[in-house]
Structure 1
Amino acid sequence: MTLPKTMRAMVTMGHGDLDRMVLHTDWPRPDPGKGEVLIRAGACGPRNADGYLQMTDAPVLGVHPDENMQGAPAVAAYP
């Protein structure tokens, strides 16, 4: 299976209002490391905590982890 080099990603660009969460259509696709799996997301959505954390002084990691995701393995990196 050939995967694209980029993917769509909703990225937190800093604290502030929800406009700091930016949709990128050409975000670099990560390559799984040893013992990791890359999941191809079929659907996902923000959690209630995403908006709340965005407006607080909580650390911004760059990419919001998403608990509301449906997908299937795309690539596995075996040890």
Structure 2
Amino acid sequence: MGKNLKGKECGKGICQRKDGFYYARFIDKYGKRHEKYVPTLPEARNWLEEARFADTRDNILVLSSDMTVDT
């Protein structure tokens, strides 16, 4: 659990840097770390939640636009 500059808990994967920005990060299912710096805590929480959700739901099959029915 990360903390802000005043010592308050920010949540898992979020901490505050000395310049005031919040640092959010997580490790995806392939073991790659994703991170982002944002100015406010709600933005950090929203990004982290959306990124984790996208990581769990990225198994959607992507088809090319020139693919035919026979292919």
What TM-score do the two structures reach when normalised by structure 1? Answer: 0.27
Pick the structure with more helix per residue.
2
Greater length-normalized contact order (CA 8 Å, ≥ 6 residues apart): 1
What TM-score do the two structures reach when normalised by structure 2? Answer: 0.29
**Larger Cα Rg: Structure 1 or Structure 2?**
2
Pick the structure with more strand per residue.
1
